[in-house]
Every structure is written in C-alpha cells, then in structure tokens.
Amino acid sequence: MRELAALSAKMDHPSTASKLAIVAPQDIAFGLGRMYEAFREMDASTTKQVEVFRQLEEALAYLGLEALP
C-alpha cells in the first residue's frame, strides 16, 4: 500500500490540488482505503486529498457532486 501511495503521489499534478473519494462499504476494503489515505497524507509530494467513505452519497457530497437519479 505504501508503494502504491508513493507511485500515485508521483503522478499528481504538482500545482493542482484535487480530491479522491474511495467508496468501501466492506470492512476490509475500508481498512485498506484508510491505509492508502494515511500513506498519501504522509507523502510530501502529494497534492491530492484522499478520503474513504462507506456510502456513495457521502463520497459524492465530499466531491461536491449529486447522485444520479
């Protein structure tokens, strides 16, 4: 997970902040997502804010989007 987060951070645009929402309703997926989030936060080169959610609606709200009908 550490290597994936580091590789992902290297691909971030250096001057553009962005958001990534991970939807993970199952416990194992949520835990892995939180681990990825933590490693991204610790990487000084990251410009992407990562958050993990259990519900799609919460993730969409975080991204400032609305659910499709």
pLDDT of residue 19: 96
All residues at 6 or more sequence positions from 24 whose CB lies less than 8 Å from its CB, including other chains: 30, 32, 33, 52, 53, 54
> pLDDT per position in the chain (69 positions), as tens?
999 999 999 999 989 999 999 999 999 999 999 999 999 999 999 999 999 999 999 999 999 998 777
- Residue 3, classified by CB atoms within 10 Å of its CB into exposed (0-12), middle (13-18) or buried (19+), is exposed
Q: What is the pLDDT of residue 67?
A: 75
Domain boundaries, the chain: 2-63
What is the pLDDT at residue 66? Answer: 85
- E-state strands within 8-66: 18-23, 48-53
Predicted pLDDT at 68: 73
